[in-house]
Amino acid sequence: MATTARKKPVKRRRSPIQSRGQATVDAIVEAAAQILARKGPAAATTNAVAARAGVSIGTLYQYFADREALLQEIGRRHVAEMQAVLAGALTGIDGLALPAAVDRLVAAIVAMHRVAPRLHQALHQSLARDHLDTIDAFEVAVEGMVSRALETRDELDLSHPELTATVLVRGLGGLIRTTIRREPERLDDPALALAMRAMILGTLGESRRRA
């Protein structure tokens, strides 16, 4: 797994060689993520980040070409974390019967978003429009994954697995994001999980080939 300050375009900077440098980079990224999560994108100025990380701005710019690069790195780490949680919560799901599998899926999606709700939201804001490729790519990947999983289950007999996957993933994602923004505590509400379950099962049932 690559680690630090690499960009695709033309934005490189020194990569840490000594462990001291690595620690510094981590401190910077974590400080930035914290500010982002607690006070939003506007508060995450490079100077503020450096201060919170306990390093000088000079040091920050030693590892990141510019503010944008820092944000992208945060996005990359966040996505990796979400992916890990998702994968973990989904292992062995193929062996389960449909209702149980759906329960698992709901739990997994919720868990994935619970990793860092505020940060997730902040990233969706700050990266939007420009380079939220990382997050987008992840979401696209999830849609593909779900699509394939749906195809595999013959019992479902969907007429358009991809479409169904798209609707489900984007719908659930939006639902959860909205809920996080407006009623964060509600994520733990079992009733909501049940409602999501109903939505998924209902959508699947209604999307059968001979519906």
Partner DNA sequence: CGAGGATCTGAGCAAAGGCTCATCTTCTCC
Partner DNA sequence: GGAGAAGATGAGCCTTTGCTCAGATCCTCG
Q: How far is the CB of 129 from a second copy (least distance, A)?
A: 5
- Comparing CB distances to a second copy, the nearer of 115 and 199 is 199
Residue 131 has φ and ψ, to the nearest 5°, of -105, 80
Residues 78-97 that bind a second copy (CB under 8 A): none
Q: How far is the CB of 202 from a second copy (least distance, A)?
A: 3
- Comparing CB distances to a second copy, the nearer of 88 and 99 is 99
Q: Which amino acid is at 166?
A: T
Q: Site map for DNA, 12-51, x if CB under 7 A?
A: --x-xxxxxx-xx-----------------x-xxxx----
Q: How far apart are CA 58 and CA 50, in angstroms?
A: 9
The conformation of residue 187, written as its DSSP 8-state character, comes to G
Say whether 105 sits in a helix, a strand or coil: helix
Q: Site map for a second copy, 143-182, x if CB under 8 A?
A: -----------------x--xx-xxx-xxxxxx-xxx-xx
Label residues 164-201 b or e (16+ Cβ within 10 Å = b): bbbebbeebbeebeebbeeeeeebeeeebbeebbebbe
Q: Are 54 and 27 in contact (CB under 8 A)?
A: yes
Dihedral, 203, 137, 35, 11 alpha carbons, nearest 10: -170
- Kindly list the residues in this chain that would bind DNA in the complex (CB under 7 A): 14, 16-21, 23-24, 42, 44-47, 54-59, 61-62, 66-68
- Kindly list the residues in this chain that would bind a second copy in the complex (CB under 8 A): 40, 42, 121, 125, 128-129, 136, 139, 160, 163-164, 166-168, 170-175, 177-179, 181-182, 191-192, 195-196, 198-199, 201-207, 211
